[in-house]
Amino acid sequence: MDTGLALPTARELLALSRGAQRTSFETYNRGVMGVLQTRRNASTHAGTAPNLLLLLVAMLFASGGCDVLNPNRQIETRIVTRLITPGPDVQRLLSAQRMQDEEGERFWSEKHTQQEGIERVEQLQRNPDSIYPGRKQFLSAMAAEPAELVAEHVYLRLLEDSHVKCSNPLYTTKFIKVRVTSGRFDGHVGWVCEDDVFRTVAWP
């Protein structure tokens, strides 16, 4: 269906994704929706565009709206996933690594040339520990913590974002605290890596 409304440009999406690295996936989605809303308003004043929001709402409910809007079903495991048991040791590991990650991320909040940005990414690819020291030891320590193995296609509810990256520093995926809301471990709480799960809905 032609809505007469242009999608966000690559430059706009890049700017939003950079912001999402320092905030969250939901913030990125809200940014995209904001671009679309701005364009819808502009088109409406010109008298040309249909109501995009009504179209999105119709699509939402056509795809099973009740489940989509249920916070207990907005995250799902994509593979067998380690649910790391929360505790003081895990909290200390996350707190210490959060400070290291903030140091590494500070570069992106400062003004740099495009070439400096390229060199930073290349350095990350060659030697991530030079920018995020102790990362390998941190990930090894998290892997050694007690955990339960949650099956694939199990629903989770987001409880907390650690703001600590859980894999390659070039990725934005982090450790998140969740409650299992289906399956064998229903009601159990723990930490998972976002690499192992996916959001079942892209709306904010």
| Residue 36: band (very low, low, confident or very high) from pLDDT cuts 50, 70, 90 | low
Alpha-carbon separation of residue 117 from 92, 123, 185, 199 (angstroms): 31, 10, 44, 30
The predicted pLDDT at position 158 comes to: 96
**What is the CB-side half-sphere exposure of residue 48 using CA atoms within 13 A?**
10
Would the pLDDT of 28 be above 50?
no
Tell me what the mean pLDDT of segment 133-148 comes to: 95
pLDDT band of residue 63 (cuts 50, 70, 90) is very low
Q: 3-state DSSP helix/strand/coil percent for the chain, to nearest 5?
A: 50, 20, 30
Whether 87 has a pLDDT exceeding 50, the answer reads yes
pLDDT digits (tens, 9 = 90+) for 119-131: 988 888 888 888 8
pLDDT tier at 51, thresholds 50, 70, 90: low
Lowest mean pLDDT among 22-26, 71-75, 187-191: 22-26
Q: Distance of CA 152 to CAs 19, 54, 59, Å?
A: 30, 34, 27
pLDDT, residue 35, reads 53
Please give the Cα distance from 176 to 193 (Å, whole number). 6
Q: Does residue 83 surpass a pLDDT of 70?
A: yes
The whole-number pLDDT of residue 129 equals 83
Predicted TM-score (pTM) of this structure: 0.64
